Amino acid sequence: MRIAVIADVHGNLHALRAVAQDMARRSPDLIVNLGDLVSGPFDPAGSADAQMALGAATLKGNHDRWVLEGPPAGYKDDARARATLSEAHLAWMAGLPPTLSIDGGDVFACHGSPAGGDLDYLLEDVASGRALLAAPEAIRPRLAGIGPARLVLCGHTHTARAASLDGVLIVNPGSVGQPAYRDDAPVPHVMEAGTSHALYAVVERGRLGWSAALCAVPYDHAAAALQAERGGRPDVAHAVRTGRMPPA
């Protein structure tokens, strides 16, 4: 089985179109979308249409919850996204599950972590202010609840990474649409892909187990950055152009 894995589109239709074209040439058996679908200063409604048309196995991320339920203070992109979405878009998002079990339970998909929910970082330790690979003893309890899965797919951190623990391959495809961000929880930190490319992954089961390829796709990021600037988010525009956050 070959699965294309996308996450964290954040409404960036320019990036999504490039990734969709690249995925098509790889002929996956299934596309899995790990959530955070539309929240961003780009094109929420257009990206929702495109993601619905993919026919992917899709789950709900934290920003999708906030679009539906109302965001915490300071997260304006979620409210802005909701204002552009149709009732059909909102109904689709409301019906999405928080996790997915695929291929008879051999694959577990989540946005954050299996045990900690859609705000939890599964593979990353951000105590230093930047994303480092967490220690095995920190990752292990976050995997609780995956059942017999040998492959775990996660998003949320926008950090493309593959790691293995206790015979389980864990893959984060990175972000399709927003390569960097800054957050204050659990401590102040930045996540930076370091590239303007749109990121996704392809995982495939072979005779000896699951393999993963992390993919970086060029696209018209200048057009996406212009959308972000027009949407009042120069920080996101800088991230889209450079893969890094501007100085605080």
All domains of the chain in start order, with CATH: 2-99+154-242 (3.60.21.10)
In the predicted model, is pLDDT for residue 73 greater than 90?
Answer: no
What is the spatial distance between Cα 93 and Cα 237, in angstroms, rounded to a whole number?
26
In the predicted model, is pLDDT for residue 224 greater than 90?
Answer: yes
Q: Compute the chain's Rg from CA coordinates.
A: 17
In this predicted structure, what is the pLDDT of residue 112?
98
In this predicted structure, what is the pLDDT of residue 66?
98
In this predicted structure, what is the pLDDT of residue 198?
99
In the predicted model, is pLDDT for residue 188 greater than 90?
Answer: yes
3-class DSSP assignment, residue 105: coil
For the segment 83-111, the average pLDDT, to the nearest whole number, is 98
Which class for 168: exposed (0-12), middle (13-18), buried (19 or more C-beta within 10 A)?
middle
Closest CA to 171 of 149, 191, 189, 144: 149
For the segment 212-241, the average pLDDT, to the nearest whole number, is 98
pLDDT tens per residue across span 21-55: 999 999 999 999 999 999 999 999 999 999 999 99
Percentage, residues of the chain above pLDDT 70:
100
